[in-house]
């Protein structure tokens, strides 16, 4: 059994750690709430834009825009969205495991590169020896649409001039405060989920044949040329919001668990301290009793 002095020092140290984890939990909870509201409020708009885009694409030639066509040349590109800081429990491990599995598809390909968002994603890419096209770290917690435009513009320019073959995004999807799931979504070329076997009647039944219900001004092709790049920007913005909400949620849960574990350790150490103190008192009484009896 450790001495009472050592146990008391450990109790004090653990209490200090608990104060830190409690403060970090409160900060993460505040940031999580803001990030969650941003992600939740933006998602319906992103989904509705995708639905409108699908209907709009049916009113023109399916591959009339470069973003809808598959490039035969260029680099396979992955956008890996990770946090700048740690202390997020197993979230980072799950994200990087997903990125590692995705990269194995192009393990022997020399034309694979990645765009990293966050210091943890960059550290992973450097460790794995990936070619890094660009790095975007230290993005603000209160993310705005303008903060994400440099990433979108880099992707759009590269895909338009065919230096990028395809683009996939690896990120943590926010499900709830306790659940964040790693996702891999193909961004470019866009998949509008329209089967070539579907007849116009089948499309009507699926509520996909918007061309029979709308009149487009100045024309579907002109609108499509504007909407498609904007849709890419919105998708990247939405996935970054999901990643931010997932990061703060995972950090809050991790700090909450650390705070509870610290409380349990303090309770156990206090019990051990009391036992040690009681043993010392018992020994002193035995010494006094033995000395009295001997004398």
How confident is the model at residue 201, as a pLDDT?
47
Extract the tokens encoding 245. Answer: 């909400």
Low-confidence ranges of the chain (pLDDT < 50): 194-197, 199-201, 203-205, 208-212
How confident is the model at residue 195, as a pLDDT?
44
Whether 76 and 238 have beta carbons less than 8 Å apart is answered as no
How confident is the model at residue 152, as a pLDDT?
93
| Distance, CA of 53 to CA of 46 (rounded, Å) | 11
The H or E element containing residue 288 is helix 220-294
Provide the whole-model pTM: 0.80
> Topology of domain 27-251, per CATH?
Pyruvate Kinase; Chain: A, domain 1 (3.40.1380)
| Distance, CA of 29 to CA of 248 (rounded, Å) | 7
How confident is the model at residue 70, as a pLDDT?
84
DSSP string of 109-120, one letter each residue: -SSEEEEEESHH
Whole-angstrom Cα Rg for the chain:
28
How confident is the model at residue 62, as a pLDDT?
56
Q: Could you give the dihedral angle defined by the CA atoms of residues 179, 180, 186 and 187, in that order, rounded to the nearest 10 degrees?
A: 110
pLDDT tens digits, one per residue of 164-215? 999 999 999 998 888 889 999 988 888 655 444 454 445 444 554 444 456 7
Whether 165 and 74 have beta carbons less than 8 Å apart is answered as yes
How confident is the model at residue 292, as a pLDDT?
62
pLDDT tens digits, one per residue of 217-244? 777 777 778 888 999 999 999 999 999 9
How confident is the model at residue 291, as a pLDDT?
65
């Amino acid at each position: 059994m450790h001495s009472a002095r050592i146990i008391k020092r450990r109790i004090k140290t653990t209490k200090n750690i608990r104060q830190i984890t409690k403060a970090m939990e409160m900060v993460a909870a505040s940031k999580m709430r803001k990030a969650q509201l941003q992600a939740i409020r933006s998602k319906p708009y992103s989904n509705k834009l995708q639905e409108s885009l699908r209907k709009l694409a049916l009113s023109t030639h399916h591959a009339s825009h470069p973003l809808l066509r598959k490039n035969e040349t260029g680099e396979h590109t992955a956008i890996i969205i990770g946090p700048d800081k740690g202390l997020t429990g197993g979230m980072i491990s799950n994200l990087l495991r997903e990125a590692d599995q995705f990269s194995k598809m192009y393990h022997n390909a020399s034309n694979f590169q990645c765009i990293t968002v966050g210091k943890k994603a960059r550290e992973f890419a450097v460790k794995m020896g990936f070619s890094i096209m660009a790095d975007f770290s230290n993005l603000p917690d209160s993310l705005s649409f303008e903060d994400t435009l440099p990433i979108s513009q880099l992707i759009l320019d590269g895909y338009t001039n065919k230096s990028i073959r395809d683009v996939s995004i690896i990120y943590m999807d926010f499900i709830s405060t306790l659940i964040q799931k790693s996702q891999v979504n193909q961004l470019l070329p866009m998949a509008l989920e329209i089967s070539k076997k579907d007849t116009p009647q089948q499309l009507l039944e699926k509520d996909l044949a918007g061309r029979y219900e709308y009149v487009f001004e100045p024309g579907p092709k002109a609108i499509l040329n504007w909407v498609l790049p904007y849709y890419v920007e919105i998708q990247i913005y939405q996935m970054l919001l999901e990643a931010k909400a997932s990061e703060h949620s995972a950090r809050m849960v991790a700090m909450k668990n650390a705070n509870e574990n610290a409380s349990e350790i303090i309770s156990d150490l206090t019990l051990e301290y009391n036992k040690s103190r009681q043993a010392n008192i018992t020994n002193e009484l035995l010494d006094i009793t033995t000395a009295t009896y001997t004398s």
